[in-house]
Amino acid sequence: MRIGYGYDVHRFEDGGPLVIGGVKIPFGKSLAGHSDADVLLHAITDALLGACALGDLGKHFPDTSSKFEDINSRILLRDALTMVREKGYLVNNVDATIVTERPQMAPHINEMRQVIADDLKVNIDQVSVKATTSEGLGFEGNEEGISARAVILLTER
């Protein structure tokens, strides 16, 4: 077995769309980033790569490359899964947490779980996505941005 941990953060900017977990969420702001800035998928992708000691998101999909500008983060997640499978591992389960004051994530959690499960080629019951606030503390609490954390367990094929 292999365990990976991922963390990501993006600041808010005006405009949209806001994409979290592969799901477009109605909100007056989006997240700033070179790609679509999907903070949740970035954390999961980093966890996936880290579990196999393959480096991180920036190593494989650098924000200095125009190839990845505005790219859908689902593509990055699927590419990372391919790398992990080539190393002989399968996803056992994912547990992730989104930290934000607004917008509310609860109405979108099950759709996020299904998107992630589809991209990782697992069942939805192998994907946990939770959301919490930071009780008004820090950059999330000040509504400056969103962070996400993820752990992933891989098993040898």
Share of the chain above pLDDT 90, in %: 86
Taking alpha carbons only, the member of 103, 98, 91 closest to residue 48 is 91
Give backbone dihedrals phi and psi of 95, rounded to 5 degrees, phi first.
Answer: -130, 120
Amino acid (one-letter) located at 149: R
Whether 55 and 119 have beta carbons less than 8 Å apart is answered as no
Q: What is the average pLDDT across 8-28?
A: 94
Q: What is the average pLDDT across 87-93?
A: 98
Taking alpha carbons only, the member of 57, 54, 48 closest to residue 4 is 48
pTM of the entire predicted model: 0.96
Please tell me the distance from the alpha carbon of residue 61 to that of residue 81, in angstroms, as a whole number: 14
Whether 128 and 97 have beta carbons less than 8 Å apart is answered as no
The mean of the pLDDT values for the chain is 95
Give backbone dihedrals phi and psi of 93, rounded to 5 degrees, phi first.
Answer: -165, 160
Q: What is the average pLDDT across 63-80?
A: 87
